Structure 1
Amino acid sequence: MNHDDLLAKYGPRESMDYDIVVVGAGPGGLACAIRLKQLAAAAGRELSVCVLEKGSEPGAHILSGAIMDPRALTELFPDWKARGAPLNQPVTEDRILFLGRRRAVATPKPFIPDSLDNHGNYIVSLGNVVRWLAREAEAAGVEIFPGFAAAEVLYDGDGAVRGVATGNLGLGKDGEPTDQFQLGMELNAKYVIFAEGSRGQLGRELIARFKLDEGRDPQSYGIGIKELWQVDAAKAQPGLVIHTAGWPLRADTYGGSFLYHMEDGKVAVGFVVGLDYKNPWLSPFEEFQRFKTHPAIRSHLEGGKRIGYGARSITAGGIVSLPRTVFPGGALIGCEAGYLNASRIKGSHAAIKTGMLAAEAAFEAVAAGRAQDVLTAYPAAFERSWLHAELMASKNFKQWFKKGLALATLMNGIEQWLLPKLGIRTPPWTLRRDRPDHACLEPADRHARIDYPKPDGVLTFDRLSSVFLSSTNHEEDQPSHLTLKDPAVPVAINLATYAGPEARYCPAAVYEFVPAAGGGERLQINAQNCVHCKTCDIKDPTQNIVWVAPQGGGGPNYSGM
């Protein structure tokens, strides 16, 4: 039964009205909600604010390295330390390593660029920071609804955004209502702020509908895969930050790693691969496992125990790929739009800052009696902000890597280290890109197959044991949230031309090609394994896979990540 038939049979949907609805309880969405309440309190006004979160609780789906620049948080809460914000481990040392197969060459400290100087920053669990922000938001009067994914954008008669609807509950695998069926709810608002994170389902729709990316470079993404380890006290070096480039990736593939020594003997280790890679035999997950075997990395982990795993796409195109962020009735903030600074490997400070800027524009509009307007004050404020200057300084960072690691290292050294020394904050040239990530994949017969070593179960692992650590769970009797526009395409095109890359780029063993009943192969989708990284939605060469939100709070339940 399709959506319109469900509405006709079971409708109308219940509705609730708010001044502002925020979609996504990440750092940007919660900062936006908190700032709205701060402004309302200062003006002596009542303002109703609701936040929808698809995870089972705020923080359940949050995954990041993470080193946090507290600048934006300090603007939101000057007293964040007194309030108990979980920023406990300051960075004490930065190291940048260029890896060969066995060797590691360190960048001399005087040549570490400002973008990777983390003095004054903190190593955090971003999930824990988000849980703290959620408590602060609720204390300010924000209503947070976890386990309710915004699944549909609602438009008024003039085409402006008037609200969102949550997904229907109680549909069986066949798409038919069960005895537990319940229609989603409409949440109407004067303005809706979209903060779904990288490659948000509704953000993708809005960008296409309002042509927000027209005239911009195609957006560029990476996949970030992370593990959390508990190491022996003798190996713990709280505050040590290591970033690497080079092995095991080839020089023509963008990527790198991080290893952060946290508090309490925990180590966060992760690997990022740009999703504009060419070779369909490449597996980001397997490259990450190989990376951990390097002597410069394994020495930090040996004798420890892996206690967490997750993966997430990263919106990394920078300011040249930033879409227009406002449209009638709403705005995009944080990684939904692509404010992450790839040169700093940081996005949470940008999400918080843009959430605050959007809140200020939305509050001004509501206070003036406007609704479903275009919040032009938000992008205008961004262009005057320190964040705009920061992103302009790194506008070419990822684009240089398309020209190879050696030239990228040289030119990013000039742009990120030399030019600032000369008082030039923004490079006087701009590199462009003209292809989306999925169009970069080349046929399998142009590349040599990569044979990855088997995991040892001690330092390196397989996908299924990794997914287990993410505490991922989906109700099995529901329609797959990984949808295909044409079910024939995976075998007829992806398998035939690209050797079935979905079986390799997915870090959670969701996609596998298995024998078909009548001979040949078919694509099997293990949707219950999905960690919501959105890589398939981005990298599928035919753009045949479309990720949509599952029912009722399904997905990973990250702890300490």
Structure 2
Amino acid sequence: MSDTVPPRESMEFDVVVVGAGPAGLSAAIRLKQINAELSVCVVEKGGEVGAHILSGCVLEPRAMTELLPDADIGAIEFSAKAGEDRFLFLTETGSHRMPTPPQMNNHGNFVVSLGNVVRFLGAKAEELGVEIYPGFAAAELLVEEGRVAGIATGDMGIGKDGQPTAQYQRGMELRATYTVFAEGCRGSLGKQLMSRFGLRDGVDPQTYGIGIKELWEVPAEHHNPGMVMHTIGWPLDTKTYGGSFLYHLGGNLMAYGFVIGLDYENPYLSPFEEMQRFKTHKAIRPYFEGAKRISYGARALNEGGFQSIPRLAFPGGVLVGCEAGFLNVPKIKGTHTAMKSGMLAAEAIAEALSGSRPATLDAFPEKVRASWLWPELQAVRNIRPGFAKFGMWGGLINAAFETYVTRGKSPWTLRNHADNTALKPARDATPIAYPKPDGALTFDRLSSVFISNTNHEENQPAHLTLLDPAKAISVNWAEYRSPETRYCPAGVYEIVGAEAGDPKLQINAQNCVHCKTCDIKDPTQNINWVVPEGAGGPAYPGGM
């Protein structure tokens, strides 16, 4: 970029929150509840609050009730009180009803659009005086004398050549005594923080899944508000962790999603294609009869649990929510834990601001360990890694043992391993033949991305980069036959020229739905995801 770039303007706050998700907004609300005089700013890369929020979602109301005792969750648009739980095991030709695991009992919970829950929290935050700035991506850490002093938003109007265009606008510095990082799973600044401050030292690697979701409008006669159904088994093999969810919200809406653990081995596996062919099963197809697909999205999710939680506090800031990895995998819920972590961070920050203002908020992890959040995650710590270690059948036996025999108090802790190390070379794997989409029940990637409302300014530097471009062919193509062309649910990565014996990787960054899977699963960690211009990416509607 030119050396004549003007200096950034800056704004000062007591607290800056990065990310307007459940954790970040809960932190902002709790701060203002404790001390209305605090200046609190939330910066959000989505074009509006909720635009980038994607989840199932069945909400356990515990944290919401603590934060906003008078909140009527059932009044949030498309919410429905959870009703019947169904848990199925599928074979290729059949289905078997199984007992619902106790962690998945949803009595008292709500089937919700998490995007709408976040919009509700955003409105509550603004009522309390929180300043929310959607459409501004937190692109840079401000670190001074070893302490985080806030963040800078990304410059707008930078061309592909790295030079300012006629639409150029310099980013802003948002400075604060304390910064709360709530970017969600695999946050780009969070990744930098973990490296700079050694936050992952001494803990297991984080492990992840990819969740791909469709929103369907179903005929009223087929709609069962509050129905919650999960499946395991087909189309996945017994070595691959994953399964589906079907949730009936209000408004004749059905959320369908498929989750696959990113520790899968076969480089030919396509999570998107598995998600599509699942719908063709004879026990599942009837749920989609007469229905219309209206939206699509994808997002990585944390699966490491208790043993993969990093150090939460560092000079000038804290990690909350999925930034830190608080998802309860066996429960298939992380909103209540994310919200609770944000509330606890707010309490620690408020105490610090009214007291000695220590550089590192050691009180925050202490509050986490003293809350209901810590034992909840500790009790289920061995269930997800049990599937990685023993496969599906062994994993189910291990889960039953942990649940009913040791009740989460086993004297051992199973370890997690980094997902990018799990792929087999293509020569040792079996290619998978997927059926072609029919355009009514099953679809292709590009038509799916279209209904995610994904949009990026085309004339901007790519937000998906290769640390070593040569590895795209010398490693990914030569050893694994370019798995990024299959694990990306948006058609971002293509190999061109292979038929002529000159393969090259083409990156269609404009398709990116910000799932972060490539940043996680790439075998040599060669793909680096950073934030694009603010407001870029998907724009999920209410209901997603």
The two structures share one fold, judged by TM-score above 0.5: yes
Cα deviation per residue 1:515-536 (whole Å; 9 max; x = unaligned)?
A: 2899601111111110000000
What's the CA shift for 1:84? Answer: 4.8
**CA–CA separation in structure 2 for the residues paired with 1:469 and 1:426:** 45
SS of corresponding position for 1:296: coil
Partner of 2:510: 528
Offset at residue 429 of structure 1 (A)? 2.7
Identify the match of residue 14 of structure 2 among 13, 19, 22: 19
1:286-323, Cα deviation, whole Å (9 max, x unpaired): 00011111122111112111111000000110001110
1:52 aligns with 2:43: yes
* Corresponding letter in the other structure for 2:515: C
- Aligned CA distance change for structure 1 residues 82 and 490 (closer, same or farther; 3 Å): closer
Write the distance in 1 (CA, Å) between the matches of 2:78 and 2:487.
33
Q: Answer yes or no: is 1:124 the counterpart of 2:112.
A: yes
1:428 Cα deviation after fit: 3.4
CA RMSD, 1 decimal: 1.5
Matched, 1:61 2:61: no
What SS does structure 2 have at the residue aligned with 1:17? Answer: strand
Query: 2: distance between equivalents of 1:425 and 1:432?
Result: 15
Alpha carbons of 1:444 and 1:169: their partners in 2 closer, same or farther (altered >3 Å)?
Answer: same
Q: How does 1:74-473 map to 2 (within 5 A)?
A: 74-81=65-72, 84-86=75-77, 88-108=79-99, 112-157=100-145, 159-370=146-357, 373-402=359-388, 403-416=390-403, 418-419=404-405, 424-433=407-416, 435-473=417-455
The alpha carbon displacement at 1:457 in A equals 0.7
Across the two proteins, how many residue pairs are aligned to each other? 542
Asked if the contact 2:74–2:80 (Cα under 8 Å) also holds between the matched residues in 1, the reply is no
SS in 2 for 1:95: strand
Check conservation: 1:151, 1:165, Cα contact below 8 A.
yes
- Aligned-pair CA distance for 1:484: 1.1
- Contact 1:289–1:461 (CA under 8 A) maintained in structure 2: yes
What is the TM-score of this pair, normalised by structure 2? 0.97
Q: CA deviation at 1:173?
A: 1.2
What amino acid is aligned across from residue 84 of structure 2 in structure 1? E
- Using structure 1 for the length normalisation, give the TM-score: 0.94
Report if the CA contact (8 A) 1:87-1:122 is conserved. no
**Structure 1 residue matching 2:277: 3-state secondary structure:** helix
Query: Residues 60 and 127 of structure 1 are in contact (CA less than 8 Å); yes or no, is this contact kept in structure 2?
Result: yes
Give SS of 2:193's match.
helix
Task: Give the C-alpha shift of residue 489 in structure 1.
Answer: 1.3
Cα offset, 1:83, TM superposition: 10
* 1:477 has 2:459 as partner: yes
CA distance in 2, matches of 1:451, 1:246: 18
| In 2, Cα distance between equivalents of 1:297 and 1:383 | 42
C-alpha distance in 2 between matches for 1:216 and 1:88: 37
Aligned counterparts of 1:85 and 1:66: Cα–Cα separation in 2: 13
1:550 equivalent to 2:532? Answer yes
**CA shift for structure 1 position 369:** 4.4
Aligned equivalents of 1:267, 1:75: Cα separation in 2: 29
- In the superposition, relative to structure 1, how do residues 235 and 87 fare at CA in structure 2: closer, same or farther (>3 Å)? closer
SS at structure 2 position matched to 1:155: strand
Q: Which position in structure 2 is the counterpart of 1:33?
A: 28
CA distance in 2, matches of 1:144, 1:303: 40
Name stretches of at least 5 consecutive residues in structure 2 with no aligned partner: none
Whichever residue aligns with residue 227 of structure 1, its letter is E
Judge conservation of contact 2:78–2:251 (CA < 8 Å) in 1: no
2:516 maps to amino acid:
K
Find the residue that maps to 1:199 and give its secondary structure: coil
- Contact 1:23–1:53 (CA under 8 A) maintained in structure 2: yes
* Contact 1:37 1:140 (C-alpha < 8 Å) held by counterparts: yes
- Counterpart amino acid of 1:74? T
Which secondary structure state, in structure 2, belongs to the residue aligned with residue 508 of structure 1? coil
Alpha-carbon distance between aligned partners in 2 of 1:459 and 1:83, rounded to the nearest angstrom: 30
Offset of residue 411 of structure 1: 1.3
1:496 aligns with 2:478: yes
3-state SS in 2 of match to 1:145: strand
CA distance in 2, matches of 1:188, 1:226: 36
Q: Contact (CA 8 Å) 2:381, 2:408: kept in 1 or not?
A: no
> What SS class does the counterpart of residue 276 from structure 2 fall into?
helix
**Percent identity, aligned pairs only?**
59
CA distance in 2, matches of 1:409, 1:497: 33
Distance 2:161 2:370 in 1: 51
- 507-516 or 454-463, which moves further after superposition? 507-516
Give the counterpart letter for 1:123 in structure 2.
V
3-state DSSP class of the match of 1:383?
helix
Contact 1:175 1:479 in 2 (8 A): yes
CA distance in 2, matches of 1:385, 1:468: 43
**Equivalent AA in structure 1 for residue 411 of structure 2:** P
Counterpart residue identity of residue 409, structure 2: T
Specify the code of the residue in structure 2 equivalent to 1:268: A
Inter-partner Cα distance in structure 1 for 2:72 and 2:290: 34
**C-alpha displacement at 1:427, in angstroms?**
3.3
